[in-house]
Structure 1
Amino acid sequence: MAPMIRRLRVIHSTRYTYDRPVERSVHKLHLCPVHDRDQRVLSHTLTIDPRVTTMEFEDVFGNRVTRFEITAPYTALTISADSIVELCDADPFAFAKEEMRPAFPPVWMPWEQAIIAPYVRPAELPDTQLQALFDYAMSFVEKNDADLMETLFAINLTLFREYQYVPGSTNLATTPYDVFVNRRGVCQDFANLFICMARLLGIPARYVCGYLYTGNVGASRAGSDATHAWVQLYIPNIGWKGFDPTNGVLASLGHVRVGYGRDYTDATPTAGTLYTAAAETMNVDVTVSEVD
């Protein structure tokens, strides 16, 4: 079967305004998409106003990062990234059809344990909350006869079907337990809950930040053109595979990967430190379109 190819253009613009001049600030960006076997970056242009000198490097998670510093006073900052990527995927379910199906619980060799350690440590929550989340995760294992893949598919679909997508209902301080109890949130919250459940089951999980192409029919799916978050799970003998609990699907030709990490803070699109006590207003505009 010949692989499917899709080319997408992502334009991500962020504008900050301040109520008083900012004397100095330092910024870090994750805006350049991942370039690998399944996703090729054909072009990437970054524009920053006011003009600055940038430095690029690869962080410990393999993300491409841009860093810059502003030392002259300013009251507005605009950061725009324009990228064209080519996505390649023959069949997102192909890995689940292999005869060597991974078993539950997964068994990790000592050297593997050292590498996956950051991705199997759950969120630091009270014991009672972690126990409740573990029991919830184990209920999926029991319902699916300890079949690892069926368990993961079931969790992905349940978070999509039984949890409400409600913009503004949560914030960066919302915990996986909060999402579990309230049964609502946004893509970041569903990703965090899935990650916590997977880690409690001994399955390495990492946060993925990127974009979702919806064909501009956002009313039919949760989340239109915007930054998006989903999960990658490390499955024995298969590798990292993407699950999108916000939409109940596996990550495929509509998901543009930009950054990975233990959580949102490792891969946030824009982050910075101001050395002035100024009130900040941020506006973000994202468009994702298909190109020939």
Structure 2
Amino acid sequence: MSTRRYRIVHHTTMRYEGEVSTSHNELRMTPVDEPSQATLEARIRVRPLTWSNVYEDHWGTQVMAMEAQSPHDVLEIEAISLVERSEVTEEVPDAGGWDVVRSADTQDRLSEFLAQTARTAPPAEVAEFAAQVADEATPRAAALALADRVYQALTYEPGITGWQSTAAEVWEQRRGVCQDFAHITLGGLRSIGIPARYVSGYVTDEAGEIPRGTSVVARNHAWVEFWDGAWRPIDPTNPGSVGLNHIVLGRGRDYDDVSPFRGMFVGPPLVELDLEITFTRLG
């Protein structure tokens, strides 16, 4: 079993046109702790900060609710994590096929990941080719075929869509970013009865193994997990397996459930947002 240990630094700076009197935000920037990913250390620093509260939400994501009540024209957030990521090499076989996925028990137990949301509702063309891949022998084969079709149909282009874009809007222009690829894939999978959930996290653009002691640029990323007896990850933006360079922050029905940063402020508009994420390979 391959293992990597990373120090992850996620630094966000927001500059406003003038003084903001108060801001209230939720931060989802702490990696999850699970069998293939151990979060050994995590802390979030906010400047300025009046109070904060940490809790786990309905989806199992750690949330820091915070408030800055002193006047400020800059808000800085630095999330630092030490994460050990393991790759499970044992291949889990298909667990029962379509009969298990479409059983009444599955449809009831995983209903939250079968219901479409405003973001994932698939346009007719996506629902049509999803129905075509439903002829595949197994749900896994169908999910992989669907993700490949989404990848082939869309062009990755930052700045074309916004955080609020829906699958239908993205499909109309056939361009978008990782969250758009994920929403369209989710809509297609759910339309043929395969439970699927949105995954928010980090990824590096490095191909292959990162040398120890090396720091590389990373970015926020989104991919998908589908259920066919067990949860399995697929990345419709980057074909190939989800591996040791993917770090999970949270899971939910769509982006709205796992947004790394959301909130409100009272004062003049935001004029600049700087985001920097780095991975340093420690072991």
Alignment TM-score, normalising by the size of structure 1: 0.86
Q: Which residue of 2 aligns with 1:135?
A: 128
Q: CA separation of 1:76/1:37 partners in 2, compared to 1, >3 Å: closer, same or farther?
A: same
CA distance in 2, matches of 1:104, 1:153: 18
- Given candidates 166, 170, 190, the residue that maps to 1:175 is 166
CA distance in 2, matches of 1:148, 1:35: 27
Q: Which residue of 2 aligns with 1:55?
A: 53
Does 2:101 align with 1:106?
Answer: yes
Segments of structure 1 that go 5 or more residues without pairing to the other structure are 218-223
Q: CA separation of 1:134/1:159 partners in 2, compared to 1, >3 Å: closer, same or farther?
A: closer
CA distance in 2, matches of 1:280, 1:265: 23
Does 2:77 align with 1:75?
Answer: no
Cα contact 2:117–2:254 (8 A) shared by 1: no
In the alignment of these two chains, the number of paired residues is 274
Cα contact 1:211–1:288 (8 A) shared by 2: no
CA distance in 1, matches of 2:272, 2:99: 47
* CA offset digits 1:58-79 (Å, max 9, x no partner): 1011100111111111111000
- Given candidates 82, 104, 114, the residue that maps to 1:120 is 114
Equivalent AA in structure 1 for residue 46 of structure 2: I
Instruction: Describe how 1:196-235 pairs up with structure 2 within 5 A.
Output: 196-215=187-206, 225-235=218-228
Q: Which residue of 2 aligns with 1:278?
A: 269
CA distance in 2, matches of 1:66, 1:160: 34
CA distance in 2, matches of 1:196, 1:99: 22
CA distance in 1, matches of 2:266, 2:173: 37
- Given candidates 3, 8, 11, the residue that maps to 1:10 is 8
Q: CA separation of 1:99/1:163 partners in 2, compared to 1, >3 Å: closer, same or farther?
A: closer
Does 2:148 align with 1:157?
Answer: yes
Q: Which residue of 1 aligns with 2:258?
A: 267
- How far has the Cα of 1:20 moved from its partner? 1.9
CA distance in 2, matches of 1:81, 1:100: 38
Equivalent AA in structure 2 for residue 234 of structure 1: W
- How far has the Cα of 1:12 moved from its partner? 0.6
Equivalent AA in structure 1 for residue 60 of structure 2: G
Aligned residues with identical type, % of pairs: 27
- How far has the Cα of 1:84 moved from its partner? 1.5
Equivalent AA in structure 1 for residue 35 of structure 2: R
Report the aligned-residue RMSD. Answer: 2.3
- How far has the Cα of 1:100 moved from its partner? 4.2
CA distance in 1, matches of 2:204, 2:18: 37
